[in-house]
With several copies, the nearest count.
Chain A
Amino acid sequence: MCLLRSRLTEGKKVRCDNFRPMVNKLFASPEAALADIPDGSTIMIGGFGHAGMPAELIDALIAQGARELTIVNNNAGNADTGLAALLKAKRVRKILCSFPRQADSWHFDALYRAGEIELELVPQGTLAERIRAAGAGIGAFYTPTAYGTRLAEGKETRRIGDRDCVLEYPIHADYALIKAERADRWGNLVYRKSARNFGPIMASAARCAVVQVRETVELGALDPESIVTPGIFVKRVVRVAPSMRKAA
């Protein structure tokens, strides 16, 4: 055959490039893994409380400098570090979360009262399902949650069977920053206890999922029955040693 030209892999949908010789998604540092995040990105950040919070990736995002971000997280930052520090640095335009108000959410509270941050408050299960819908290619879904409440105002509703439902749309992201326990070079992940929380669904909903892990293992070392996030959802893995975690 006379090969004229092969342009098959140049499709613009492949934004976060997987294709390297011998699949290897391991990155050397949080900084390297987040270097290309542009201003205006939508970024999901995993974690519920400290469990699953990718502290070192958030620190690297703060150092990286991207602005006008839209953040998706269950909360809106605690005390003065992590997401709260990102908010304090005025790098966040909008936040989608279920539970912003906490005893130590003072940076969010101040920005919110000053009108300097937009809040989209989403019931926690609807937040999870909207993220999952993005990852699973669902266009929209009807949920009974929040029907008849202030959080459903202005939304389409429909009675289905014995339940009144609200129409909700997926939340897609450009990047997901999550934490897992262990990964291999294909990006297969396992988590630890309740630190799993939003990690698997956020990885699936982002064009580029970046994962910090405590340990990397050889390909084949993870039990295929127990892999929670298959590597197809993961673009970049950074090992953050336990000692670094404590120091942070």
Chain B
Amino acid sequence: MKKLDKKQIAARVARDIPDGAYVNLGIGLPTLVADHLPRGREIILHSENGILGVGPKPAPGEEDEDLINAGKEPVTLLPGGAYFHHADSFGMIRGRHLDFCILGAFQVSVAGDLANWHTGGADAIPAVGGAMDLAVGAKKVLVMMEHLTKSGESKIVERCTYPLTGARCVNRIYTDLAVIDVKPDGLQVVEMVEGLSFDELQRLSGVPLRRLATAA
């Protein structure tokens, strides 16, 4: 089978973002989505440090230390963009005004629980940022991650063993192997990469999956 690389996952996520959507891209992997948004669609990116209408990276030498995204990388502002303070910014998030947020994950459970902020290690210094707000706030929470850990275990699990970011919050999972919807009655496979059979995906995932019913 042909696993997707990170850019390909990002491009696949980007394809699902419709014209006019308000979207927050979590720090890390999800920021790649910005580079793959389809041309011809006007998509308005939110950054939780107080920006709507985030534009592309500035040209070298054009960086402005007062204009950064939530990952603290320099960005630009599109025409039509706006600045606001942190309480207003998280009001947008918590108040369900964002159409989508896209988050990375350590684990997602069959119920849509998300774990992406803490490995659970007793010695680990915790840091949560805006992840818990995004997890409960966006109308649709999309997760992008590799399907398996480095040691080959499924990151889609019956129950998260890492500390939760949010309970029952994930709507769709994009991995290097498949696109999977989290439905009230379980996980539903929407797409698989070429050369991957449903049975193989089921075996690798280790949790019950079902195929999307198609018109026979």
Contact = CB atoms under 8 A, between A and B. Distances in A.
Interface of A: 1-6, 8-9, 11, 13-14, 18-23, 48-52, 98-102, 105, 108-109, 112-113, 119, 121-129, 131-132, 134-138, 143-151, 163-164, 184-186, 188, 191-201, 204, 219-220, 222, 224-225, 227-228, 230-233
B127 A125 contact: no
Contacts of B91: 129, 132, 135-137, 204
Given A119-B126, A186-B80, A193-B67, 15 more contacts: A9-B18, A19-B21, A23-B42, A98-B127, A98-B129, A109-B125, A123-B133, A124-B130, A129-B87, A194-B83, A199-B85, A222-B80, A224-B83, A230-B52, A233-B97
Nearest to B69: A194
Contacts of B172: 8
Contact of A194 (B18, B68, B164, B179): B68
B65 interface: yes
Contacts of A50: 65, 68
A139 B181 CA distance: 28
Given A18-B21, A145-B94, A196 B85 contact: yes
A2 B194 contact: yes
Shortest Cβ-Cβ A-B pairs, 4 listed: A220-B79, A125-B90, A137-B94, A136-B91
B141 to A, nearest CB: 11
B18 A4 contact: no
B20 interface: yes
Interface in B1-52: 4, 12, 15-16, 18-22, 42, 44, 46-52
A162 B193 CA distance: 36
A129 to B, nearest CB: 6
A1 B96 contact: no
B190 interface: yes
Contacts of A199: 85
Contacts of B49: 48-49, 51, 194, 197
Contact of B96 (A3, A108, A137, A197): A137
A13 B90 contact: no
Given A5-B214, A18-B20, A19-B20, A197 B85 contact: yes
Given A4-B212, A8-B172, A186-B44, A225 B83 contact: yes
Nearest to B42: A23
Contacts of A193: 64, 66-67, 77, 83
Interface residues of B, number: 79
Interface of chain B: mostly helix, strand, loop or mixed: loop
B186 interface: no
Contacts of A151: 128, 132
Contacts, number: 254
A100 B129 CA distance: 9
Nearest to B70: A48
A8 B194 contact: no
B169 to A, nearest CB: 9
Contact of A5 (B21, B52, B190): B190
A149 B95 contact: no
B86 interface: yes
Contacts of B87: 128-129, 131-132, 136, 200-201
B82 A224 contact: yes
A122 to B, nearest CB: 8
5 contacts: A119-B126, A134-B95, A197-B86, A227-B82, A233-B92
